[in-house]
Amino acid sequence: MGQKYTEEYKADVLKLADEIGVSAACQRLGISTKAVYSWRRAERLARGEIRGVEPGETPEQAVARLTRENKELHEANYILRKALGFMAGR
């Protein structure tokens, strides 16, 4: 079973990983690189830097949400292409 780390410890590890690299930090501290990358991803998700499965969301719900967002973006791009063509024809 995995070891429990405090949020403060995780933040310190991520700071060290940013300074010297994930592999070097993991070797120095004797922890798994997989854990550090997981903590980094969770932190980036929390800050809104990346999108993915939101907390409390199942993978199926995430796929449905992302499919819906993709459809909306395609529709917006279609409208913009049409408008560009109209404006170019003036």
Same domain flag for 45 and 63: no
Token pair 């024809």 in the structure block, residue: 89
Closest CA to 5 of 35, 42, 34, 40: 35
pLDDT at 59: 82
Model pTM score:
0.57
Same domain flag for 60 and 37: no
List, for residues 15-74, the tens digit of each pLDDT value.
999 999 999 999 999 999 999 999 998 888 778 777 777 777 788 888 898 899 999 999
pLDDT at 56: 78
Q: Which domain holds residue 68?
A: 56-90
Token pair 């529709």 in the structure block, residue: 75
Same domain flag for 5 and 44: yes
Token pair 């798994």 in the structure block, residue: 32
Same domain flag for 42 and 63: no
pLDDT at 2: 65
Q: What's the structural domain count of the chain? A: 2
Same domain flag for 68 and 90: yes
